[in-house]
Structure 1
């Protein structure tokens, strides 16, 4: 690992960069230096905005001129960029269901993580960056589980990211999932509000009175002899929320390796299922630039449709 001394930089802040705290901006600009050094150079007055000292919580404004002082940074080996020739990466191009200059919407396949890490070299966001090398900015707006398929929003501008994440925080985004669950779901069960607590060691989530408030709305779409197709709409966005709430009601999702039932997996496996039957099918939000209401639907993969057809035939 080598060290290099950077040159002093002057950065003009445009509208897309505006709104960030200066400490977060510097951490993005100086990726290989410790966080403590970022705060040290701010505290010492080495970072200037419009030739003036600022505090770490200062929010950048369009038209600001930021002086970034020279610092010593560690140069790490470049991580492997996923090749666009890899099948899994190339296939993602055909999974894009909407794109403009502000946002990109992916119908993510099951088995693809949203980002790399934890032993994974790359995920959907790294693959999209490889497919869009000219894009200056590509960031996840939200996340869905690796084994869940369906709608994933990606921002192509920082302003779009802020706008969309604010909608998620304010719970104005409407979305629903399709799930195949064990047994016959009662029509009267339309809401589950059991609090959820995540184990930080193994990431298993359980219903616990000390957990975070959690709210999921449900609707029965189709009933079969030993299973039910439901629509699940999470009001809050807890980890594994839908999966744990349906397990709590006694109706786990088919092929859920954490919260499922092996008997139900064996039953649906005979119908050709070999993946989690949870699909992010629909989302409604306000476009970050046009302010128009957008409604996007993502079709289920053929494998899931075939399982439903076999269930209909009994």
Structure 2
């Protein structure tokens, strides 16, 4: 387990920013030495923890009814093993920094007597296919199927400019331990990064943008966004990896969030080929309808 993930478990009621601060300041020691957030802990490692004041745990509050309705109405398919959601944009999949309720917390509050666990995750502003398991056995099976080489995870992304690389396989390892203006971002790191593979294929050319089919062979944080920017074509309206001027142009065209949609997941589960799909939401299809196609 990474050191930062371990500390977030130990200091459950401490803000995430505070946890990273005590690591960076050297207050946390692993085997008597300083460590980084990504340091991997092993059996018998000695971890020295500083005294950290934890706020008393607040009583759990129920999500607002309108949020419960928003989550439950996003269910596309329900079986004894899983729920398939067409996750709407702007909805986090789990609670976190500045987010009181994510999709999984809302679901558990709406149906408290049932088991629910996220099979995978999507960025808050990414819409599309999201799988939630309804049993531990189904969770293990779906995660194994999703990580299998036979699985196919396809996204639709509108990127800046005219894509001139044809079908391109982007094999660029990614690292999460980068800070920029106090914000943690992901970057291409050929020395310490984790293997990450995306395949970009142009679908439709527009004036000033290209609609891409993107298939990912790994599931790293911000993978498509970073790989697209690495190719010189950041995802349209991406507030982390694209320029502010370009984002302003997209907002004026009615696109307030990045154009990234998890369109389809194909995997083998319980001996059968399963295809999960989520239609392109109206905010993205409306933007496409307003663009001029290019030859």
TM-score normalized by structure 1?
Answer: 0.71
The C-alpha deviation readout for 1:2-61, integer Å capped at 9, x for no partner, is xxxxxxxxxxxxxxxxxxxxxxxxxxxxx9xxxxxxxxxxxxxxxxxxxxxxxxxxxxxx
Question: 1:170-189, aligned counterparts within 5 Å?
Answer: 170-189=148-167
What is the DSSP-based 3-state SS (H/G/I as helix, E as strand, rest coil) of the residue aligned with 2:131? strand
CA drift at 1:287: 3.2
Candidates 150, 155, 176, aligned match of 2:128:
150
1:234 and 1:151 mapped to 2: Cα distance? 14
Candidates 182, 192, 195, aligned match of 2:170:
192
Candidates 126, 130, 136, aligned match of 2:109:
130
Q: Is the 8 A contact 1:254 1:261 kept in 2?
A: no
Q: Is the 8 A contact 2:154 2:263 kept in 1?
A: yes
The C-alpha deviation readout for 1:193-216, integer Å capped at 9, x for no partner, is 111111166431111111111100
1:192 and 1:77 mapped to 2: Cα distance? 45
Match in the other structure for 2:50: none
2:276 and 2:83 mapped to 1: Cα distance? 12
Tell whether 2:230 aligns with 1:252: no
Match in the other structure for 2:275: 295
Q: Is the 8 A contact 1:194 1:214 kept in 2?
A: yes
> Would the alpha carbon gap of residues 206 and 76 (structure 1) be closer, same or farther in structure 2, given more than 3 Å must change?
closer
1:171 and 1:123 mapped to 2: Cα distance? 29
What is the DSSP-based 3-state SS (H/G/I as helix, E as strand, rest coil) of the residue aligned with 1:254? coil
Q: Is the 8 A contact 2:166 2:201 kept in 1?
A: no
Question: 1:1-314, aligned counterparts within 5 Å?
Answer: 77-83=58-64, 85=65, 87-135=66-114, 137-199=115-177, 202-210=183-191, 211-288=193-270, 291-312=271-292
Q: Is the 8 A contact 2:199 2:215 kept in 1?
A: yes
Q: Is the 8 A contact 2:171 2:196 kept in 1?
A: yes
What is the DSSP-based 3-state SS (H/G/I as helix, E as strand, rest coil) of the residue aligned with 1:203? strand
2:261 and 2:269 mapped to 1: Cα distance? 23
What is the DSSP-based 3-state SS (H/G/I as helix, E as strand, rest coil) of the residue aligned with 1:312? coil
CA drift at 1:188: 2.3
The C-alpha deviation readout for 1:207-245, integer Å capped at 9, x for no partner, is 111111110011111001100000111101111100000
CA drift at 1:268: 2.1
TM-score normalized by structure 2?
Answer: 0.75
2:156 and 2:189 mapped to 1: Cα distance? 25
What is the DSSP-based 3-state SS (H/G/I as helix, E as strand, rest coil) of the residue aligned with 1:296? strand
Match in the other structure for 2:17: none
2:177 and 2:209 mapped to 1: Cα distance? 29
RMSD between aligned alpha carbons?
Answer: 2.2
What is the DSSP-based 3-state SS (H/G/I as helix, E as strand, rest coil) of the residue aligned with 2:291? helix
> Would the alpha carbon gap of residues 200 and 156 (structure 1) be closer, same or farther in structure 2, given more than 3 Å must change?
farther
1:214 and 1:146 mapped to 2: Cα distance? 21
Q: Is the 8 A contact 1:171 1:236 kept in 2?
A: no
1:266 and 1:77 mapped to 2: Cα distance? 39
The C-alpha deviation readout for 1:144-203, integer Å capped at 9, x for no partner, is 111111111100010000101112333332111111100001252421111111116643
> Would the alpha carbon gap of residues 78 and 286 (structure 1) be closer, same or farther in structure 2, given more than 3 Å must change?
farther
